[in-house]
Structure 1
Amino acid sequence: MMDRRSLTRAAALGLVALASAACSDSSGPDGAAEARVTLSLAVPVASGGTAQAAPGPAGVFSQTDGQNTLEITRVAMVVREVELERMFEGDCMNSGPGDDDGCEEFEVGPFLLELPLDDGFEAVFSIDVPEGTYDEVEFDIHKPSDDTADDLAFLNQHPDFTDVSIRVEGTYNGEPFVFLQDTNDEQERALQPPLVVGPDTGPVNVTLDIDISTWFRRSDGTLIDPMTANKNGENENLVENNIRNSIDAFEDDDRDGDRD
């Protein structure tokens, strides 16, 4: 039976709160009980709009509008300051490790997220989160440069991401392409209803859904040549907005890609 994931192509980041009895027995520095929260990646099979998407060979996302064919073999994103914000607190201040700003931080970064292009979840990292209510996920899509020690350390490992925050590789109508974006963009996504972490909540999951099927697609569903969306290209702003609008966050306890 086909579910919503067969109708929309997505790349998802899952925030999985494993509130088991063992986790609830742990406590933070102030004695508050904590639960383990794991950050995961997932890419469900999907299609959407006039441009139809379908699973291709392993690690390939394929999409066509009837006249043009897009195949994506790599989607990589530089991310930093991944945080959960506690309810009734202000915005996360990106002040570094710790939770003094009312946020629980997964990772400072920058770090590279390679979005999996086949179905399934992949754990990235985890933290112990104090019991409570969290109503927002925040993270930065980040363009690393050579002006900070953290960025320099990252670029030593990933030199092809100098001044690049997103890299997409593949073919368009059989011709190879590399799409690069250099945006610095803070992402804030409300959790509605809020995420409750406690000893009696059971397993809790939040999916941060990134619908890559919309990135290189116009509003009428026709495909965009990714090369025309590179810097100063005619479709640069359109694709940048598509990427920004492709991100959603929602509770997804059964991890099926649907809002609970």
Structure 2
Amino acid sequence: MHRLIHSARLGAVAVSLSGALLLAACGSDDDDNGVGPETDAQIALGFQVARGAQSAGDVGVTAGAAGTTIGRGTDTIVVTSAELVLRDVRLHGEGTSCLANDSTLTAGCATIRLRPMILDLPVNGTDGNRVTVTTPRGTFSSVRLNLHKPIAGDSIDAAFRLANPTFADISVRLEGTYNGEAFEYTTDVSEVITVPLTAAVSGGDDLQQVTVLVDIGKWFWGAEGGLLSPIAAGDPGTVADAVNANVRTSFKAFRDQNRDGTPD
């Protein structure tokens, strides 16, 4: 099962799904869903794990019931669970600038989610459930994601940390095996990541599907060959720095009407 945990209240609501992501995208200005004036365009957003030729470099990535398997040289990583903390997820139009913490929908700027949430990626290779968000009519050229470490001094993060104490001060958690040895990898990397769409998507009369690929295989690509150890990456040092740098550049977004994980 894949889940998204909302943190809009102290006792978080856990929503279990058999897919990628659920983002609340309608309501009043008093909630945290990023809702503004009524409009008449819709875009559906979903997340998948990159696999096969979708993955960068010479890393082999397959996904199935056992999880996502990453192979390079003699090294093998099997990821059985992948969770990311995201905050402030938006669609951007080319040349537009969305105001920080702005929950309105304006031309060229559609706020999907402001507050922290846990994204549970479907490591079995499925597309899963998507969220359909109301957007202004217009053309969008990128998805902006804040890969986020919830911190103690932030009032919005405080409720999330209370509801999800195991995600305090971390932005990513992976579980699986590295060459047969079990691991739990976490990192506190925080980054506002603008992911260009391979081609602009226009909100209009027809529902537009957008997929964000997360290339987990790229995370552990090592310059010296083989895979970087997720066990070693859990401790400060050069391996952790290399994995964090790879994480920051591992996202790709595109129009995907048939939701097959490849650009249309």
TM tier, smaller? 0.7 to 0.9
1:132-143 to 2 correspondences below 5 Å: 132-143=138-149
Is the contact made by 1:51 and 1:221 (CA closer than 8 Å) also made in structure 2? no
Is the contact made by 1:178 and 1:227 (CA closer than 8 Å) also made in structure 2? yes
Q: Does 1:113 align with 2:115?
A: no
Of 229, 239, 246, which residue of structure 2 is paired with 1:242? 246
Q: What is the distance in 1 between the residues matched to 2:84 and 2:263?
A: 24
Q: Which residue is equivalent to 1:128?
A: 134
Deviation of residue 230 (structure 1)? Answer: 2.1
Q: What is the distance in 2 between the residues matched to 1:137 and 1:14?
A: 16
Q: Does 1:198 align with 2:182?
A: no
Q: What is the distance in 2 between the residues matched to 1:75 and 1:37?
A: 25
Of 82, 103, 107, which residue of structure 2 is paired with 1:75? 82
Aligned to 1:140, what secondary structure does the other structure show? strand
Q: Does 1:89 align with 2:85?
A: no
Q: What is the distance in 1 between the residues matched to 2:219 and 2:44?
A: 27
Q: Which residue is equivalent to 1:55?
A: 63
Unpaired segments ≥5 residues, structure 2 = 1-18, 24-35
Structure 1, 122-131 or 79-88: larger mean CA deviation: 122-131
Is the contact made by 2:43 and 2:203 (CA closer than 8 Å) also made in structure 1? no
**Count of residues in correspondence between the two structures:** 232
Q: What is the distance in 2 between the residues matched to 1:52 and 1:134?
A: 32
Is the contact made by 2:50 and 2:216 (CA closer than 8 Å) also made in structure 1? no
Q: What is the distance in 2 between the residues matched to 1:247 and 1:149?
A: 28
Q: Which residue is equivalent to 2:222?
A: 218
Q: Which residue is equivalent to 2:150?
A: 144
Of 163, 169, 193, which residue of structure 2 is paired with 1:163? 169
Q: What is the distance in 2 between the residues matched to 1:224 and 1:232?
A: 14
Once the two structures are superposed, what CA deviation does each residue of 1:117-160 show, in whole Å capped at 9, x if it has no partner?
Answer: 11222335432112111122111000001212321211122111
Percent of aligned pairs sharing the same letter: 31
Q: What is the distance in 2 between the residues matched to 1:184 and 1:150?
A: 16
Amino acid at match of 2:262: D
Deviation of residue 100 (structure 1)? Answer: 5.4
TM-score (norm 1): 0.78
Q: What is the distance in 2 between the residues matched to 1:206 and 1:38?
A: 6
Q: What is the distance in 2 between the residues matched to 1:89 and 1:177?
A: 42
Amino acid at match of 2:72: D
Deviation of residue 13 (structure 1)? Answer: 7.8
Amino acid at match of 2:236: N
Amino acid at match of 1:172: Y
Structure 1 residues 55 and 129 mapped into 2: Cα distance closer, same or farther (>3 Å)?
closer
Aligned to 1:122, what secondary structure does the other structure show? coil
Deviation of residue 243 (structure 1)? Answer: 1.1
State the superposition RMSD in angstroms.
2.7
TM-score (norm 2): 0.77
Q: What is the distance in 1 between the residues matched to 2:194 and 2:46?
A: 18
Q: What is the distance in 1 between the residues matched to 2:171 and 2:42?
A: 29
Of 174, 182, 186, which residue of structure 2 is paired with 1:180? 186
Structure 1 residues 168 and 213 mapped into 2: Cα distance closer, same or farther (>3 Å)?
same
Q: Which residue is equivalent to 2:72?
A: 65
Once the two structures are superposed, what CA deviation does each residue of 1:40-95 show, in whole Å capped at 9, x if it has no partner?
Answer: 23336536654433335x252222334222111111100001001133422x2322
Structure 1 residues 147 and 126 mapped into 2: Cα distance closer, same or farther (>3 Å)?
farther
Q: What is the distance in 1 between the residues matched to 2:92 and 2:73?
A: 43
